Amino acid sequence: MTIQSVNHSIEQLKAYEMDKSNEELTREYGLGDIVKLASNENPTGCSPHVTLAITSKLGELSRYPDGAGQGLKQALADFLGCETKQIVLGNGSNELLNNITASFADGDDVILYSQYAFSDYELASLGISERTQQVAAKNFAHDLPAMLETINQTAHCKMVIITNPNNPTGTVLAKDDLIKFIKKVPSEVMVVIDEAYIEFVPTLSCVDLTQEYDNVIVLRSFSKAYGLAALRIGYAVSSASIAEILNYTRQSFNTSTLAHAAATAAIKDQHFINQYLVFNHEQKQALYDGLDSLGVVYVKSATNFVMVNVGDGMDIYQTLIEQGVVVRPMVGYGLPAWIRVSVGLPEEINRFLDTLAQVLS
């Protein structure tokens, strides 16, 4: 039996490449000591206040969560300096992106994003429209003038998605350049700014722009710096009118009680984040130093990962994984020579560098 897709754009989709679990790697390669540096997680874990907050909610597992997530929204509003009515919670920022594209675009609309930007933008866009458009990057970063020109020359352009800092390249856009860009974008075009890694460069935050521009939506995640990847919790900040629409169209009870409690505790513990940022800076420099000693080219990153040119990304990825070191190949991004490496613990970075040296030799 052949199943016909109602939405023909879905036929163009490629599934997101998930990391193999430790159990799969052990089963396939007989590995017992595995280092995972593929998903940009916080290797130091999460705030100790998070585990206490989760424990306090274990007696409520038989009850549905607060559908509005008011406690978490209030904590976020206090931290960001905005109003709770501007915030929408999501099961990770990925769900919010799907919600945004479904709410504000249809099959006749064009959705723009940059080359070398997060692969889920294509997944979210093609789920709605066949008319997605990728704009060529410049020096591995968003080319804002080219994106603006494309918007102005494209009929039915409804949305542009920008990542700052960018995944997987680690490049950043100056906030002044983003403001100039937003000012020139037609008001009917939605500007979605993905700030999943903003904690590493907080001065680039565009949350304040949602007060001035009705067409700006900022996405945030607790999966990276805050160390809550397993709980799948993120949020969007926008004008109250946009947030109202997104709250109408999101799934009921889309975020959990445990995620609410954990994220509330996490946002209140900025001391933990500051400590992690110091750690990440030091370990990223150690990674740079090791790559320099190997004579390997890489892209300087503002985040907790580094993109590295190893000549044949898939071959090196496979060889590393057979040695128990898991990184991310970049062939799916049109960068077949590259891999992406998360900044891990000192012993993990050393293991990666030692194994890479053996592989390259």
Query: How much is the pLDDT for 16?
Result: 43
Q: In angstroms, rounded to a whole number, what is the distance separating the alpha carbons of residues 202 and 314?
A: 33
pLDDT tens-place string over residues 68-114 = 999 999 999 999 999 999 999 999 888 999 999 999 988 889 999 99
- Please compute the mean of the pLDDT values over residues 159-187 and round it to a whole number: 97
112 token code pair: 């723009």
pLDDT tens-place string over residues 299-316 = 999 999 999 999 999 999
232 token code pair: 């799948």
Helix boundaries (H) for 215-325? 240-249, 257-268, 270-294, 313-322
Query: How much is the pLDDT for 17?
Result: 56
- Please compute the mean of the pLDDT values over residues 339-355 and round it to a whole number: 98
pLDDT tens-place string over residues 175-186 = 999 999 999 999
> Higher pLDDT residue, 16 or 42?
42
Q: In angstroms, rounded to a whole number, what is the distance separating the alpha carbons of residues 336 and 317?
A: 11
98 token code pair: 């799907």
Q: Which of 312, 310, 315 is nearest to 341 (CA)?
A: 310
Query: How much is the pLDDT for 130?
Result: 66
Q: In angstroms, rounded to a whole number, what is the distance separating the alpha carbons of residues 296 and 139?
A: 18
SS3 state at 21: coil
Query: How much is the pLDDT for 128?
Result: 67
Q: How far is CA 263 from CA 44, 228, 269, 331, in A?
A: 17, 8, 10, 34
Whether 126 contacts 105, CB under 8 Å: no
**Taking the model in full, what pTM does it have?**
0.92
